[in-house]
Chains A and B, each alone.
Chain A
Amino acid sequence: MKEITSAIQLIPLEHYILLCIALFSIGLMGVLFRRNTIVILMCIELMFNSVNLLLAAFSAFHSDPAGQVFVFFIMVVAAAEVAVGLSIVVMMKRNVDSVDINLLNRLKW
């Protein structure tokens, strides 16, 4: 444990933050501009993981394991979310024979 923490601390915190911002922004852009539902789901995962990485980094620099515990929680929740999201995609494919998100506009008033 000690070794991992000290290994993480070898790299300055700013680098982690910049990496996470980059990852998060890529994910966000993907969510905003892609039309393929599966890609959007993947981008959401990317955003999740950037946040997870940031939590782990802060946790190490702060010498507080709580952040890492949160990461595990988020991973569990994300797994459940992916299960639901993918099943929606499957249903969508079956019903409208496409995974284009702009076709999901049938519930409007």
Chain B
Amino acid sequence: MVGFSQYINLAWLVPAFPLLGFLITGLANKRLKYNQAGIVASSMVALSFLMSVFLFFLLRSYGQDKATVTLFDWISVGNMKIPFALLIDHLSLTMMMIVTGVGMLIHIYSIGYMHDDERVNSFFAQMNLFTFSMLLLVMGANYLILFIGWEGVGLCSYLLIGFWFKNPSYNYSARKAFVMNRIGDLGFIIGIILLFFTFKTLTFTEVFAKASTFQTGAPVITLITILLLVGAVGKSAQIPLFTWLPDAMAGPTPVSALIHAATMVTAGIYMIARSGILYNLAPITLNIIIFLGLATAILAAIIGLKQNDIKKVLAYSTVSQLGYMFLALGLGAYSTAVFHLTTHAFFKALLFLGAGSIIHAMGGEQDIRKMGGMKSKMPVTYFTFLAATLAISGIPPFSGFFSKDLILSKAFEHNIILFVLALGGALLTCFYMFRLFYLVFYGEQRMAGINPHESPKVMTIPLIILGFLTVFGGFLNVPSLFGGSSAFSAFLQTAVIENVTEELSHSTEIILILISLLLLILVILYAHRIFIKKAFVLADDGEPMTFTGKLISNRFYLDELYAFAFEKPFGRLSDFLYKKIENTILDPAVDRIGTGTSELGDLARKLQKGNMSFYLFTMVAGILLFILFILII
């Protein structure tokens, strides 16, 4: 085992490469010339990816399930010992390979996408910092390191959403994302503190070992899991904290692909899957997760039907897909959730990068009402986008089919109502994706004056690679129904403890798949009829709409509701505190302390007027008083 422990200790290199890249591109910001920052940043993430793959094969060849790499003792106070350690197991390896693999492709794509931006070097520095934080998040061996990464990705998300900070509304979006995440993080950190008080440790393996001493449904475990869930809800954009994610589309498109589709927003899912043992002990929390996930999946899909901004549609679709992952988590099918996370990372990154390619070709235009007829002009984007659309809709044999079908069948095992609702959400997904697809690629070009062209190779090659992953990624986890061995789930089995339910019989599964396929095809045909045959054109902003149409296209007025329920009262409270407390009490009090000290000084100054006899007199008087004092005591 000498070789193994030697090699596994190199695991720190995985997050170290992006950190190095961040330092290089960040510190030499002004000196790096055209493209250099992008090349440095991409190669660092690529090295990190190679290192992750190396670790994967290392674990496999030595037949190890997991390894903890302790870098140094970090906090050691009293009985609180928190080492700075990395946990390499099948779950973190999966996440590492997604983060670095997809991240690498997006970095390369960004070289082309961001090439004419003046702050391109800062962009790559922040992207690398994000990759570093995300790797820390998934590799940390205890909750506190996970939390460092958690906050780090939140910071990078804020920075990158507001990357084009000269636009005030983008800044507002960045702040919104930050504040929304803060609400979740508050719950998360309270959960971590409670976890520490309960278990006296934060290391995953120790916590999970001690968790078995608690009974199912123990109140403290339920409370901890709910608090951790609050964090996950904020980070993974679930009801009620999901409104930041669509606004986060203000950032550059590669950021949306990397942070707000493939990696950061899945941190909550990772965290819950990681804490699966705790969640298995808290059936109440699992039911809450099911409810939240399903509600988010359907609500976001409904809102997605009426969005006209290409990135907003994809954003709501992300929220919706995250809802599916939450549903899977709530059903105790953690490996299914992670599998959907993986396929989603592929196809959603592809969709965003494809959208970026289109936006690039349209000269920054994001409104799908002005697009159209891009099929012949952008063949690579067209075909990859088609693959991703089919995948997210759940058409076999694309990757999304396998993961979504798995979630649906788990839902069916649990309750048929869940299955029906989840299938309804999937049909909505299919409809809005094909609506987007038809409007963008078919028909006539609806905006004059520009000549769209295919993006350069540095952008299309990542699209093609992601396209392959989107098409074939599902074969990682072929269920036994199709003669596979569920390799991906089996791989994760050592890291996540499932809340196992009995398998469905193959005949039931075939019926379920056929039903959903039939419905999906009907939905696609319906979309085809509306948008191709009838050449339906979306209403412009000013045109009157039906009540429901208005409701949906205004996102159920949730932002307005939040503004009314939280922002306004809070603003009024702040105003009161500022005008009454700050201006009339705190400020004068602080001023008074300053002027009072100065006045006291003026008084004391009179003693020091240089009169020697007076000094001597006070000295003698002082000594006499002192002696008197001693005598009395």
Point out residues on A near B: beta carbons under 8 Å: 28, 31-33, 35, 101-102, 104-109
B213 within 8 A of A: no
Give the docked Cα–Cα distance between A107 and B616 (Å): 16
Q: List 13 A-B contacts (CB under 8 A).
A: A32-B616, A35-B613, A101-B613, A102-B613, A104-B610, A104-B612, A105-B610, A105-B612, A106-B610, A108-B608, A108-B609, A109-B605, A109-B608
The residues of B that contact A102 with a CB separation of less than 8 Å are 611-613
Q: Which A residue sits closest to B624, measured CB to CB?
A: A28
Please determine whether B617 and A32 come into contact, CB atoms closer than 8 angstroms: yes
**B599-611 interface bits toward A, Cβ cutoff 8 Å, 1 = contact, 0 = none:** 0000001001111
B586 within 8 A of A: no
Please determine whether A105 and B613 come into contact, CB atoms closer than 8 angstroms: no
Given contacts A28-B620, A32-B620, contact A107 B610 (CB under 8 A): yes
The residues of A that contact B616 with a CB separation of less than 8 Å are 31-32
Give the docked Cα–Cα distance between A72 and B121 (Å): 80
Please determine whether B611 and A105 come into contact, CB atoms closer than 8 angstroms: yes
The residues of A that contact B612 with a CB separation of less than 8 Å are 101-102, 104-105
Please determine whether A32 and B610 come into contact, CB atoms closer than 8 angstroms: no
The residues of A that contact B611 with a CB separation of less than 8 Å are 102, 105
Closest 6 CB pairs of A and B: A105-B610, A108-B610, A101-B612, A104-B612, A108-B609, A32-B617
**B105-124 interface bits toward A, Cβ cutoff 8 Å, 1 = contact, 0 = none:** 00000000000000000000
Interface size counted on chain B using CB atoms at 8 A: 10
Point out residues on B near A: beta carbons under 8 Å: 605, 608-613, 616-617, 620
What 8 new A-B contacts, CB under 8 Å, besides A33-B613, A102-B611, A109-B605?
Answer: A32-B613, A32-B616, A101-B613, A102-B612, A102-B613, A106-B610, A107-B610, A108-B609
The residues of B that contact A105 with a CB separation of less than 8 Å are 609-612
The residues of B that contact A33 with a CB separation of less than 8 Å are 613
Q: Which A residue sits closest to B612, measured CB to CB?
A: A101
Give the docked Cα–Cα distance between A31 and B50 (Å): 89
The residues of B that contact A108 with a CB separation of less than 8 Å are 608-610
Smallest beta-carbon distance A66→chain B, Å: 24
Give the docked Cα–Cα distance between A28 and B613 (Å): 12
The residues of A that contact B610 with a CB separation of less than 8 Å are 104-108
Q: Which B residue sits closest to A37, measured CB to CB?
A: B612
| B605, B608, B612 interface centre (most CB from chain A within 10 Å) | B612
Give the docked Cα–Cα distance between A32 and B610 (Å): 15
Q: Which B residue sits closest to A106, measured CB to CB?
A: B610
Q: Which B residue sits closest to A104, measured CB to CB?
A: B612
Smallest beta-carbon distance A44→chain B, Å: 10
Give the docked Cα–Cα distance between A107 and B620 (Å): 22
The residues of B that contact A31 with a CB separation of less than 8 Å are 616, 620
Give the docked Cα–Cα distance between A109 and B605 (Å): 8
Give the docked Cα–Cα distance between A108 and B610 (Å): 5
The residues of A that contact B609 with a CB separation of less than 8 Å are 105, 108
Give the docked Cα–Cα distance between A107 and B609 (Å): 9
Give the docked Cα–Cα distance between A105 and B368 (Å): 87
Give the docked Cα–Cα distance between A101 and B609 (Å): 13
The residues of A that contact B608 with a CB separation of less than 8 Å are 108-109
Give the docked Cα–Cα distance between A28 and B623 (Å): 12
The residues of B that contact A32 with a CB separation of less than 8 Å are 613, 616-617, 620
Smallest beta-carbon distance A33→chain B, Å: 8
The residues of A that contact B605 with a CB separation of less than 8 Å are 109
Q: Which B residue sits closest to A31, measured CB to CB?
A: B616
The residues of B that contact A107 with a CB separation of less than 8 Å are 610
The residues of B that contact A35 with a CB separation of less than 8 Å are 613
Give the docked Cα–Cα distance between A105 and B608 (Å): 10
The residues of B that contact A109 with a CB separation of less than 8 Å are 605, 608
Give the docked Cα–Cα distance between A35 and B617 (Å): 13
The residues of A that contact B617 with a CB separation of less than 8 Å are 32
| B613, B616, B617 interface centre (most CB from chain A within 10 Å) | B613
Smallest beta-carbon distance A109→chain B, Å: 6
Q: Which B residue sits closest to A35, measured CB to CB?
A: B613
| A35, A102, A107 interface centre (most CB from chain B within 10 Å) | A102
Smallest beta-carbon distance B264→chain A, Å: 61
The residues of B that contact A101 with a CB separation of less than 8 Å are 612-613
Smallest beta-carbon distance B611→chain A, Å: 6
Smallest beta-carbon distance B413→chain A, Å: 87
Smallest beta-carbon distance B412→chain A, Å: 89
Give the docked Cα–Cα distance between A104 and B614 (Å): 12
Q: Which B residue sits closest to A101, measured CB to CB?
A: B612
Give the docked Cα–Cα distance between A28 and B605 (Å): 26
The residues of A that contact B620 with a CB separation of less than 8 Å are 28, 31-32
Q: Which A residue sits closest to B617, measured CB to CB?
A: A32
Give the docked Cα–Cα distance between A50 and B133 (Å): 79
Give the docked Cα–Cα distance between A19 and B613 (Å): 26
Give the docked Cα–Cα distance between A104 and B617 (Å): 15
Give the docked Cα–Cα distance between A33 and B616 (Å): 10
Smallest beta-carbon distance A37→chain B, Å: 9
